[in-house]
Amino acid sequence: MYKKKPFFIVFEGVEGCGKSYQSKKLYNKLKKKKIDTILTREPGGTKSSELIRNLILKDYFAKDSKEKFDKYTDTLLYLAARNEHIKNKIKPALLKKKVVICDRFIDSTIAYQVYGKKVELNFIKNIHKRILHGIKPNIVFVLKVSKQTSRKRLIKRKTKNRYDNFAQSFYNKAQNSFIRIAKNKKNYFILDSSNNDNFLEQKIYDVCQKYLNIK
């Protein structure tokens, strides 16, 4: 039988991997089971974090490339958004024993800023020590996608953001980074999301059902 407890589920993966779609599907399934659940995302999730998100994503479209944010400014903005998000949304929800589903979290910073942009890991670790309040995901789904499928999904997108335009090599690197982070961790599930079928959403639900003891 399901017993209310704080539970933090994160979806990670490159653009076009379907994590926003899958997190919504899971959210709807848990709600149907009357499980107190919130769905949120990073960067974003609160009014202030969404403002920071806009700032980060807008920067990419700035015409003058000389005026772009330095990679440490960029990183600090992601972390600033995370601080607001944890303090005002994630932590309060977990304290109320809710299930929190988050579209991206700290592994995105490791994959994109550390592995991708070569930002110092210790710089991020030190800030995380102060802002995470010991909060760690209970389970992480890393969605792996083929180049072809991710491309197809991104072309269909109406609103593009900075990373939607990056070169294929950047995606490959980011995807490999996510897989590297997930390897040998018991609570990480690397799942292929290249096919557009219902199989994946069922698989994700099955894992959650087991962890949450849902009948």
**Which residues of the chain form contacts with ligand TMP (CB under 6 A)?**
15, 42-43, 78, 103-104, 108-109, 112-113, 161, 163
Enumerate the H helices of the chain as residue ranges: 19-32, 47-60, 71-85, 91-95, 106-108, 121-131, 147-156, 168-182, 199-212
For ligand TMP, the closer of residues 15 and 201 by Cβ is: 15
Phi, psi of 102 (to 5 degrees): -125, 130
Q: Closest approach of Cβ 195 to ligand TMP, in Å?
A: 21
In the complex with ligand TMP, which residue's Cβ is closer, 89 or 212?
A: 89
Going from the C-alpha of 27 to that of each of 39, 121, 163, the distances in angstroms are 6, 32, 25
Query: What are the backbone angles phi and psi of residue 141, rounded to the nearest 5°?
Result: -100, 120
Q: Which amino acid is at 45?
A: G
Residue with the closest Cβ to ligand TMP? 163
Beta carbon nearer to ligand TMP, 43 or 137? 43
Question: Do you find a cis peptide bond into 6, omega within 30 degrees of 0?
Answer: no
Q: Looking at beta carbons only, is 15 or 84 nearer to ligand TMP?
A: 15
CB 134 to ligand TMP: min, Å: 19
What would the two tokens of residue 139 be? Answer: 């389970």
Taking the least distance from each CB to ligand TMP, the nearer of 104 and 153 is 104
Spatial distance between the Cα atoms of 85 and 72, rounded to a whole number of angstroms: 20
Could you tell me the smallest distance in angstroms from the CB atom of residue 147 to ligand TMP? 16
Q: Compute the least distance from the CB of residue 82 to ligand TMP, in Å.
A: 7
Q: At its nearest, how many Å lie between ligand TMP and the CB of residue 192?
A: 19
Q: How many CA atoms lie within 13 A of 174 on its CB side?
A: 26
Nearer to ligand TMP among residue 81 and residue 139 (C-beta): 81
What is the nearest approach in angstroms of ligand TMP to the Cβ of residue 107? Answer: 8
